[in-house]
Structure 1
């Protein structure tokens, strides 16, 4: 819903203009809008109005609160930097938060890598997930979404946003667009996954002319990422895999795909120097750094193949930790 002119602070025109610019280039910007409304309320609470985005205002609003995660603070900093850059382009005075002031440990999260046995248990739990009167195709959709994330290394947002035209059932490919780093890519599916997609299409999409989404919600639009994540937690319990709020997480299925792929290549004595760019492109990483970290994790998890990994690509293995957003 477009709620223009609901900002009340002295920077209301700049806030709305920034939103319009982001949406004009294809971003839904829902989270950004929510944060800008909080910022607008903060501005209204100040004793004096200002038409400038001053350094004092930016630093105070982006200050980390004692109860919040660093990533939450970084979200505010990124938003303020984007707003300031927009205002500067419009000829208005704005303090741009220097990137050099922020040190981000992007790899503090250690992903959970599922074993082959656990993956099989997850698939079994998905296939036997209870039906729902409100969403009669829920278990069918859940089963295929989870297999796509693991079988193609997708992000959950990439999976649920797929349209019918993005999934080529004849060629067995998936077209990924509007991604995290803006990298469109064409992903080939395994024959078994292609077969499942064809069967799914007959069961769920036949006669559905009212939707363009491959995973349609019975309430309109497509299944949401949070909905699938909530269902995945129930799947983990059904599969006998204990978890807490810190993991395993749905995104770990993507991490698992990458590590299992590297393990397979290492055991086959593949040249990792040549393979890594393919994995990076397949996963839609911004550069090779995201994919290189899987090498260290692969070597750490499977000591029996460490020598093979280090022999082929020791210079590629970084000494780093992890972060869940890859």
Structure 2
């Protein structure tokens, strides 16, 4: 390792060209951190490969001079640098990456904190995730999940709940001898939030119902319906965007500052157009492939989404104009043209926006438009565009003299719902919608009232 770092900073220069920092100041910060790390490694015995002890001694030196958040930032930069050197085979491997793999961590922060602890070996061992379904009821839960999946159910949500209960039992060896119904009730009662309590209550009933097939004497845990009602009351009410706010949001997206990615403003604009005009979910936006867009017929295909549904959506002419404009810009930018490439493309990583990054960027557009406060999870959400699409579509039907009730099954199919009850959840009653409904009822009931009051027949 020392030989690779004794190159007058050539490796650091290659790394900085690879990551493309956003500003000159960031380049200088990265260079200072990596030069300091290089000097530390060069003080180690020559021909000694970098290892955990090298990282640990460097971290402790940083911790003696800097607060923790500075040390964590430096560790992240060095971690990326070592990943880069390993990818170009300048070093055999990145010790931090190996530690993440060995101790089941997706990010390096827990690893760095463990290396800085008084007993790194014990702290690292504590990071190891518990084995899956290793509790006293683990084998039964695994068998039940396999059975349900063999019957054609996806069963991912239920499996995640069972795994959380399994981890709870592994950490509570003192109570595993209690009856199952008691264990389940104790787990429900220890929920830290209202959402946890409701979720655990459902998992407990699912597991008890499955166990009843083996032992019919097992009782189902009691359902506290007050928890569900209270959670519904505490849920954030959907925000219905006005047409003026939607236009302002689209204009803000088109002017979104992005000096390093000229395609990004048009990408965000097109995402918002599809989110509002086609009522797409965030995950559906992120999973769209280029081959899902059928320009000739004016349709897009949404594949294998919620409720195992796929659907083909006809788009309005104005939406297709925006989509064609984006596809032309995408082609000019050199994006891959095979059907399996991501529709919303960028030049880094996998070449497509993930669901998480799509959400982050669109929320930034919301905040830049002044529709959402800067801090915290408050204010309008991106998903509320879907609510707004339903409400505004109902308003349009009322104003065009169309009976909305007859159109609800079509709207449910368009949104990918399993029935109209799911669509009605999206139907937030606004003052404008209530006024249109009242006017429709008045026009319907007025002739009957005239007859009852003795008018001419």
TM superposition score category, shorter chain reference = 0.7 to 0.9
- List aligned pairs for 1:139-218, cutoff 5 A: 139-204=265-330, 206-209=335-338, 211-216=340-345, 218=348
Secondary structure of the equivalent of 2:304? Answer: coil
Distance 1:248 1:49, change over 3 A: same
The one-character-per-residue Cα deviations of 1:253-278 (angstroms, maximum 9, x if unpaired) are 00011111111111111112312222
The 8 Å contact of residues 275 and 385 in structure 2, kept in 1 or not, is answered as: yes
TM superposition score normalised by structure 2: 0.56
Q: Please list every run of 5 or more consecutive structure 1 residues that lacks an aligned counterpart in the other structure.
A: 315-326
Structure-2 residue corresponding to 1:46: 172
CA distance in 2, matches of 1:294, 1:7: 38
CA distance in 2, matches of 1:142, 1:240: 16
**Is 1:247 aligned with 2:379?**
yes
- List aligned pairs for 1:19-168, cutoff 5 A: 27=154, 29=156, 35-47=161-173, 54-63=180-189, 65=191, 67-68=192-193, 70-84=194-208, 91=214, 97=220, 101-102=224-225, 104-105=228-229, 106=232, 108-131=235-258, 133=260, 137-168=263-294
**CA shift for structure 1 position 71:** 3.3
**CA shift for structure 1 position 74:** 2.8
Pick the structure with greater CA Rg.
Answer: 2
Structure-1 residue corresponding to 2:14: none
CA distance in 2, matches of 1:310, 1:51: 63
Distance 1:222 1:271, change over 3 A: same
Distance 1:15 1:53, change over 3 A: farther
Structure-2 residue corresponding to 1:234: 364
**CA shift for structure 1 position 8:** 2.9
Secondary structure of the equivalent of 1:186? Answer: strand
Q: Please list every run of 5 or more consecutive structure 2 residues that lacks an aligned counterpart in the other structure.
A: 1-100, 105-128, 446-457
The 8 Å contact of residues 149 and 155 in structure 2, kept in 1 or not, is answered as: yes
Q: Which of 305, 321, 324 in structure 1 is aligned with 2:436?
A: 305
Secondary structure of the equivalent of 1:131? Answer: coil
The 8 Å contact of residues 289 and 339 in structure 2, kept in 1 or not, is answered as: no
TM superposition score normalised by structure 1: 0.76
Q: Which of 399, 407, 415 in structure 2 is aligned with 1:275?
A: 407
Distance 1:45 1:309, change over 3 A: farther
**CA shift for structure 1 position 231:** 1.8
Secondary structure of the equivalent of 1:174? Answer: strand
CA distance in 1, matches of 2:311, 2:219: 33
The 8 Å contact of residues 272 and 313 in structure 1, kept in 2 or not, is answered as: no
269-278 or 120-129: bigger deviation: 269-278
CA distance in 2, matches of 1:150, 1:195: 15
CA distance in 2, matches of 1:173, 1:99: 48
**Is 1:289 aligned with 2:421?**
yes
Structure-1 residue corresponding to 2:390: 258
The 8 Å contact of residues 52 and 94 in structure 1, kept in 2 or not, is answered as: no
Secondary structure of the equivalent of 2:429? Answer: helix
- RMSD after superposition: 3.9
Would you say how many aligned residue pairs link Structure 1 and Structure 2?
Answer: 308
Q: Which has the higher helix share?
A: 2
CA distance in 2, matches of 1:277, 1:153: 15
**CA shift for structure 1 position 224:** 3.1
219-228 or 1-10: bigger deviation: 1-10
217-226 or 139-148: bigger deviation: 217-226
**Is 1:11 aligned with 2:137?**
yes
